[in-house]
């Protein structure tokens, strides 16, 4: 379908879905790891890796609005760690089951934290911080497919992903101050995404951010009409990423970090030149250039 696309989304996608001959194996690829589980009751987070090396991670607590508990945080961290060591990984899609993408912290978990010592609260907060850092630094493209409202930590997950596509009805809320809390562990990623000025506004007011406003702010990259359109974007991005060398994708992701963190222009000149030289001399760089000059498909593209 192309009528599911929001008018303000990239209309090239509509043409792509309508006219492109999408290989069936890319739309419904056979699972190599089907719903891998971690510890007891781990159906809260599902992991599937297909034959082309794309992982789909699904938040699967729809009755609890896909909220975070300590076990969910631990499981997500296990998933990111496992994927970090997955051979041939090409990309990760993060999605959610149900009406909410994530409503943030689990109320039962929050209630139990009232009796925590300072050390216990510190430990819990650090576990959440590590999980977010693990997602943020995965050496591949990460894509958030946001079908419903995101609050607090849910906004943090979106901000940690390289690409975010949201349904038109989605809203984003940094709601912590309403509970007497602060968005501390997600702040490194939210502030980088929104910038200091907009972060000050939305962290202090806890205003709801519409999908259109999130697009304007840079929190998301595209908005679409519904979940069907989200899946169309998922198919498009999978095919797009298959064209790209996985090592070069990882190195480009690291390059963005290097450039944004540098405060010394002379050091940046050396660092960027070194990054280019290393990638150009790598096996992947040599194979890619050779394939280009020979007008052949690159070895990382299975089509």
Asked if 239 and 192 count as a contact pair (C-beta separation under 8 A), the reply is no
Q: What is the pLDDT of residues 234-248, one digit of tens each?
A: 999 999 999 999 999
Q: Tell me which of 96 and 285 has the higher pLDDT.
A: 96
Compute the CA torsion angle 232, 234, 237, 243 (nearest 10 deg).
-100
Greater confidence (152 vs 25) lies with: 152
Taking the C-alpha atoms of residue 124 and residue 136, their distance in angstroms, rounded to an integer, is 19
What band does 118 get if pLDDT is binned at 50, 70 and 90? confident
Q: Is the pLDDT of residue 42 over 80?
A: no
pLDDT band at 261 (very low <50, low <70, confident <90, very high): confident
Question: What's the chain's average pLDDT?
Answer: 86
118 vs 256: which has the higher pLDDT: 256
At residue 116, the pLDDT reads 81
Q: What is the pTM of this model?
A: 0.85
Alpha helix stretches (DSSP H) within the chain: 11-19, 24-27, 70-84, 107-113, 118-136, 153-160, 187-194, 196-205, 211-217, 227-242, 246-261, 265-281, 283-293
| pLDDT reading at 44 higher than 50 | yes
Per-residue pLDDT averaged across 82-93, rounded?
A: 93
The predicted pLDDT at position 113 comes to 75
| Predicted pLDDT of residue 11 | 45
């Amino acid at each position: 379908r192309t009528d599911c696309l929001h008018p303000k989304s990239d209309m090239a996608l509509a043409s792509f879905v309508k006219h492109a001959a999408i290989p069936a194996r890319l739309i419904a690829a056979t699972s190599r790891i089907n719903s891998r589980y971690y510890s007891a009751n781990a159906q809260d987070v599902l992991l599937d890796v297909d034959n082309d090396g794309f992982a789909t991670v699904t938040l699967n607590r729809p009755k609890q609005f896909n909220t975070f508990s300590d076990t969910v945080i631990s499981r997500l961290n296990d998933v990111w760690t496992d994927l970090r060591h997955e051979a041939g990984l090409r990309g990760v899609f993060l999605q959610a089951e149900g009406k909410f993408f994530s409503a943030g912290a689990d109320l039962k978990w929050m209630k139990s934290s009232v009796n925590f010592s300072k050390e216990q609260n510190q430990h819990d907060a650090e576990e959440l911080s590590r999980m977010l850092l693990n997602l943020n630094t995965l050496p591949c493209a990460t894509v958030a497919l946001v079908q419903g409202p995101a609050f607090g930590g849910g906004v943090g997950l979106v901000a940690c992903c390289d690409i975010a596509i949201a349904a038109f009805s989605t809203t984003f809320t940094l709601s912590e101050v309403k509970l007497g809390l602060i968005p501390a562990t997600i702040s490194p990623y939210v502030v980088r995404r929104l910038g200091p000025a907009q972060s000050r506004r939305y962290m202090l007011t806890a205003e709801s951010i519409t999908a259109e406003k999130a697009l304007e702010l840079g929190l998301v990259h595209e908005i679409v009409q519904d979940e069907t359109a989200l899946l169309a974007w998922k198919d498009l991005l999978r095919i797009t990423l298959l064209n790209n060398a996985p090592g070069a994708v990882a190195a480009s992701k690291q390059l963005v970090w290097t450039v944004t963190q540098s405060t010394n222009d002379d050091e940046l000149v050396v660092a960027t030149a070194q990054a280019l030289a290393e990638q150009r001399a790598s096996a992947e760089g040599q194979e890619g250039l050779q394939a280009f000059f020979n007008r052949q498909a690159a070895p990382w593209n299975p089509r």
